Amino acid sequence: MKKIEAIIRVSKFEDVKQALYAVDIQWFSYWDITGLGRSTEDQIVRGQVFQSSYIQRRMLSIVVRDQNAEKTIKAIMNAARTGEAGDGKIFVMDIENSYRIRNGEDGPESLYIK
């Protein structure tokens, strides 16, 4: 099993979500994050535009079976890409095991409803 963490532009979240659904990835977690980088973004506060080094992004966390990892990564990359700096990053990690709390099922079968 693989854990895929993707940091993407907030504006690309709906595109990425639809791309994941299209490759049959139906479940993932996400949250809003703030990062620091070399680039800056315009922030609008009370109608005024300010440049800020604080960059708003969305992080997705997805655990998939090994055979679904590559199509998941490709879906994210294709949907999140604008071609500009700041499109984001994808990290892939091995997962040793997973457990379904409800019934104690473990391994890759615990990831999805049968």
Q: What is the pLDDT at residue 43?
A: 62
With beta carbons less than 8 A apart as the criterion, state whether 16 and 75 touch.
yes
Alpha carbons within 13 A on the beta-carbon side of 40: 8
**pTM, to two decimals:** 0.83
Q: What is the pLDDT at residue 97?
A: 95
With beta carbons less than 8 A apart as the criterion, state whether 56 and 10 touch.
yes
Q: Which residues of the chain have pLDDT under 70?
A: 38-45, 49-53, 113-114
Q: What is the pLDDT at residue 45?
A: 65
Q: What is the pLDDT at residue 42?
A: 64
Q: What is the pLDDT at residue 48?
A: 72
